[in-house]
Chain A
Amino acid sequence: MTAKVLSGNYAQSYAALLARAQVVSAYPITPQTSIVEKIADFVASGELHAQYVKVESEHSALQVVISAAALGARTYTATSSQGLLLMHELLHWASGMRAPIVMGVINRAVAPPWNIGADHTDTMSQRDTGWIQFYAESNQEVLDTVLQAYRLAEHPDVRLPAMVTEDAFYLSHTVEPVDVPDPAVVDRFLPPREPHAVLVPGEATRLGSFTGPEHYVDFRHQIGEAMARVPKVLETVETEFERAVGRSHGGALPTYRIDDADAVLITMGTSTTTARSVVDELRASGRRVGLAKLRLFRPFPDEELRRLARGVDRIGVVDRSYTFGPMGPAATEVSAALYTARHRPEVTSFLAGIGGRDVTPGEVRRMFETLLSGAPATVHWEDLEDEGVTRIHG
């Protein structure tokens, strides 16, 4: 194990190196670019024996790894924002092909107006494409989750692509200490990909195909079943990762001080770190508040959420995006998952950190105050509250 001070982007690059990715496709976009630059260095220096394919668009970047995965290669690529949106059609291709691609995504706002700040609109609008989605909180979690994502994606019970996301600049360009595990340790945790359902030269096979209404549903259902197995497989992957590397990231929905909590805030990505500090501060002054991190958004960990919600009356969900639904997208999912729960807490939607705004301790404090005050559950544009504007939607 070597401790290095790394950016979140380099944490992705190191993870691709440790995973011994065999085919990497590269197309630049701010704030992702330094990931593929670093991988280019790894390949140039001989540290990584990979085919490094420089493509002419993100669309082609994803097609290259889909086709490479179809032959059995372990693949990596990375993108952000507009690039991810350009990939949209091919995201469906990847899951439909059951291609265990791992992709780094830097969460960045979507134009217009152009904005390169942190925002989850890009990945939220890809939530229905059959990809596993992880949201990371720290550069360490980025590195570890990429490695875990390969195990998960390639697992025979899963075989689906996975994206590991990190907030633009708050992680992508933030340097902080990261433990980089020894390659030998990672090799034990993550052996070479065992190809399932791949094309073999000389065999009369077709991957992709077309089918009429009589059987298309079978393909969709099979992906659904694989998705449903992800939380269970993730548990075993975490256990094995902890055994090999000595760290765990708490599975799909790690929680913090939620026992006896009157109000729990659910966060994604980097706002979690700030929120955790606020929980400590409020707990020190006797307020009963807790925190849960939506680390896995697809598949949505609804069982874990219902377990968490059993003893909680008020839940707030912090969304770093607005997707024109009744609430923030994560809040909508949380509400849907809790609707059938026997104990159904109220869900308040907080939109915060949109387009690169800070999610400050003051904002988080105010969110907890809102929850604890018993105010009716609704949607709060937290970013605008400092300017004295409260927008209530719906």
Chain B
Amino acid sequence: MAKLTIPAQELMYGGHAACPGCGPALAMRLLLKGLGPRTLVSIPACCWTVIATPYPTTALKVAVLDNAIESTGASISGLRAAADALGLDKVNIVGFAGDGGTADIGLQALSGMLERRTDAIYVMYDNEAYMNTGIQRSGATPWGAWTTTTPVAGDLRGKPEPKKDVMGIVLAHRPAYAATLNPAFPEDFNQKVEKARDIVGPRFFHIFTPCPPGWKFDSAQTIALGRLATDTGVFPLYEVVEGRLRITRKTGQLKPVAEYLSAQGRFRHLTPDDVTLIQAQVRSDWERLQKREREDLSLAH
């Protein structure tokens, strides 16, 4: 057998209730591989509430706390405070929230947790809409995407507003560590988890998690689509350590964003002009990211 490139330990059980090909399920599996069993996960209302299976069963081999949809940031502050008060050694405290629970209703508690420097990892697993309630737009839904609350009819062509820059908001709090992760790149994913695990302070992961029913693509394509997201520049992989940004997957030439968009039913209605607009935005975001990396690098010297 070839050497495993990510940890062998499995801290997620089979039998969970995720849809076939679920990005968030794979994200949790990879995350816990890197963090290990001494991990406490606080989960708000989101797909994972249900994925984790009903009482008296549980789908994780670590301790899980449910919390209200808007309070994940506060919940992990409470867990860390108790762990410190009780003298619990070497415990990873993790909040694992969806994009709605982070970018929208949970933003205040996330900001509070970052600002008070809670020693914990906040994960936003981003399937780019409220998927547990059946595909409603969130602040993290990208421009042009169809959802049940941004229908495609007449002049309406999906979500008319751009995706909220949650990373930008997080970075404004100067976290100890922040990174974008993509389960399609498990080695990069795992390196970031293991690196963040050993850093003290508020840490943030933005994890890209494709959703076959919500994005309308075949469940077998979850990884291929994730790879395309990064290789087209839609979801670049980078990390920010103590304010310095480093791109962790260099793509010499970005693939055309049309490849990524055309693979999903939620973008089926986009016109060539729409695609051109998106392409221009992705390119300019990518250039800005590279510029920031160069500047941070020069500051480091």
> Which of B37, B58, B68, B84 lies in contact with A63, CB distance below 8 A?
B68
Measured CA separation A51–B117 after assembly (Å): 13
Q: Is A387 an interface residue (CB 8 A)?
A: no
Q: Is A25 an interface residue (CB 8 A)?
A: yes
Is B279's CB within 8 Å of the partner chain A?
no
Bound complex: CA A126 to CA B82 (Å): 26
Partner of A201, one of B38, B56, B70, B84: B38
Check: A71 CB closer than 8 A to any chain B CB: yes
Q: Let me know if B66 and A207 touch, CB within 8 A.
A: yes
Question: Which of A54-62, A233-241, A276-284 is the contact stretch?
Answer: A54-62
Q: Which residues of B contact A212 (CB under 8 A)?
A: 54
Interface centre among A54, A59, A75 (most CB of B within 10 A): A59
Tell me how many residue pairs across A and B have CB atoms closer than 8 Å: 157
Which of B72-80, B189-197, B240-248 has 4 or more CB atoms under 8 Å from chain A?
B72-80
- Tell me if B263 is interfacial: C-beta within 8 Å of chain A: no
In the complex, which range does the number of interface residues on chain A fall in? 35 or more
Q: How far is the CB of A272 from chain B (nearest CB, A)?
A: 35
Could you tell me which residues of chain A, from 211 to 229, have a CB within 8 Å of some CB in chain B?
211-212, 215
Q: Is A72 an interface residue when CB atoms closer than 8 A count as contact?
A: yes
A73 within 8 A of B: yes
Residue from B13, B62, B82 whose CB has the most chain A CB atoms within 10 Å: B82
How distant is the Cα of A301 from the Cα of B70 in the complex, in angstroms? Answer: 35
CB distance from A170 to the nearest CB of B (A): 32
Known: A23-B81, A72-B82. A53 touches B70 (CB 8 A): no
A66: CB under 8 A from chain B?
yes
Identify which of residues 44-98 in chain A touch chain B, using a CB-to-CB cut-off of 8 Å: 49-51, 53-57, 59-61, 63-73, 75, 89-90, 93
The reply to whether B52 and A206 form a contact with Cβ atoms under 8 Å apart is yes
Task: Decide: A71 and B88 in contact? CB cutoff 8 A.
Answer: yes
Q: Is the CB of B91 within 8 A of A208?
A: no
Contact in complex: B77, A53 (CB < 8 Å)? yes
Least Cβ–Cβ distance between A161 and chain B, in angstroms: 14
Instruction: Answer yes or no: B71 CB below 8 A from chain A CBs.
Output: yes
Tell me the bound Cα distance from A367 to B259 in angstroms: 80
Within the complex, what minimum Cβ distance (angstroms) separates A334 from chain B?
A: 34
- With a CB–CB cut-off of 8 A, which chain A residues contact B77? 53, 55, 60, 64, 67
A209 at the interface (CB under 8 A from B): yes
Instruction: State whether A57 touches B58 (Cβ < 8 A).
Output: no
The answer to whether B85 touches A67, judged by C-beta atoms less than 8 angstroms apart, is no
Known contacts A56-B108, A201-B38, A68 near B82 by CB under 8 Å: yes
Q: What 1/0 mask marks residues of chain B from 28 to 54 whose CB sits below 8 Å from any chain A CB?
A: 000000000111101000000110101
10 nearest A-B residue pairs (beta carbon):
A208-B66, A67-B78, A60-B74, A56-B112, A68-B82, A63-B74, A64-B78, A51-B81, A71-B82, A22-B85
Instruction: Provide a sorted-by-A list of 27 A–B residue pairs whose CB atoms are within 8 angstroms.
Output: A25-B81, A51-B81, A51-B82, A53-B77, A56-B112, A57-B108, A59-B70, A63-B109, A64-B74, A64-B78, A64-B81, A66-B75, A72-B86, A73-B86, A75-B82, A199-B64, A199-B65, A201-B37, A201-B63, A201-B83, A204-B63, A206-B52, A206-B65, A208-B67, A209-B54, A209-B58, A210-B50
